[in-house]
Amino acid sequence: MELAPGIRRVVVPNPGLMTGPGTNTWILGSHDVAVIDPGPAIDAHIDTIVDAVGVKIRWILVTHTHPDHSPGAALLAKRTGAAVWGRVAPGGQHQDATFRPDRILEDGEVLSAEEFELDVIHTPGHASNHLCFRQAPLNWLFTGDHIINGSTVVIDPPDGSMTEYLHSLRKLKSLEIAAIAPGHGEVIDQPYEAIDWIIEHRLAREAKVAEAVAAHPNLASHGLVPHVYDDVDERLFDIAERSLLAHLEKLELDRRVVCEEDRWRPL
């Protein structure tokens, strides 16, 4: 589906709790084509991409190496001969260790094509190797899982960092952005309002974490979850605990709490 001149979206058939309606694969250009986030290695999805643009694909760009975004890159490259660009997977669980970029992208690089340019923006937080891409001339920002529509993202330590996530969000506010094309959900046409809402939401949750530690000192993280996420379905508490840990680690860096034998108390 073409959502703007030269920008098409194909949704991966992988709907679920963590992926919403499915991962968005973005197709840019019509002559020298770039594909952002080919998703998992689902043959039918790769067929859809190839049927749409075929051998015109020159670049396969990956925002990060979580398994719903990057494994399809190798399969699409094999089918088209396109170069794979991104950053190598960090260690730990929930990473696509098979991802092998032909080029490791750095913050500030520019991909120049006949029909567009893409600015590379390193945005660690959700993942340490996370990248966003800004397309000119339309100034659409492709955000992977840094910003999604319809939900906030999990920040999962040790690779995820709430401190870096908030810094990366503020970094994006300095850019000219007309719309956000997220890794999941619909296009966001009020980008700065969306970024501000996420920052405010995270800081409000951080305040709630600090209050919970003060009111219930010497609890482990799982004991704090019901106090901090009393607005969340209990079935999601295991997932919520991951972001809670990210908040606690930020508060520890800010010298507001301390952890002793896996239990947290205020400083």
pLDDT at 227: 97
Tokens 């659409």, residue? 140
What's the mean pLDDT when you consider all of the chain?
Answer: 96
**For residue 161, how far is the Cα from the chain centroid?**
12
Q: What pLDDT digit, counting tens, does each position of 131-158 carry?
A: 999 999 999 999 999 999 988 999 999 9
- pLDDT tier for residue 29 given thresholds of 50, 70 and 90: very high
Tokens 């190798």, residue? 74
Mapped to the 3 state alphabet, what secondary structure does the chain carry? CEEECCEEEEECCCCECCCECCEEEEEECCCCEEEECCCCCCHHHHHHHHHHHHHHEEEEECCCCCCCCCCHHHHHHHHHCCEEEECCCCCCCCCCCCCCCCEECCCCCEEECCCCEEEEEECCCCCCCCEEEEEECCCEEEEECCCCCCCCCCCCCCCCCHHHHHHHHHHHHCCCCCEEEECECCCECCHHHHHHHHHHHHHHHHHHHHHHHHHCCCECHHHHHHHHCCCCCHHHHHHHHHHHHHHHHHHHHCCCEEEECCEEEEC
In the structure encoding, which two tokens stand for residue 71, read together?
């494994």
Vertex 210: Cα angle to 207 and 214 (nearest 5): 140
pLDDT at 185: 97
Walk me through the domains of the chain, giving residue ranges and CATH numbers. Answer: 2-189 (3.60.15.10), 205-266 (1.10.10)
pLDDT at 150: 85
Q: What pLDDT digit, counting tens, does each position of 58-105 carry?
A: 999 999 999 999 999 999 999 999 999 999 999 888 899 999 999 999
- Sequence-separated (6 or more) residues with CB below 8 Å from residue 186: 149, 150
pLDDT at 28: 97
- pLDDT tier for residue 247 given thresholds of 50, 70 and 90: very high
- Rounded CA separation 267/214 (Å): 9
Residue 54 has pLDDT above 80, yes or no: no
pLDDT at 17: 86
pLDDT at 87: 98
In the structure encoding, which two tokens stand for residue 193, read together?
């309002």
Q: What pLDDT digit, counting tens, does each position of 163-204 carry?
A: 999 999 999 999 999 999 999 999 999 999 999 999 999 999
Residue 26: count other Cβ atoms within 10 Å of its Cβ. Answer: 24
Residue 1 has pLDDT above 90, yes or no: no
Residue 55 has pLDDT above 90, yes or no: no
- Rounded CA separation 209/106 (Å): 34
| Claim: this prediction has a pTM higher than 0.85 | yes
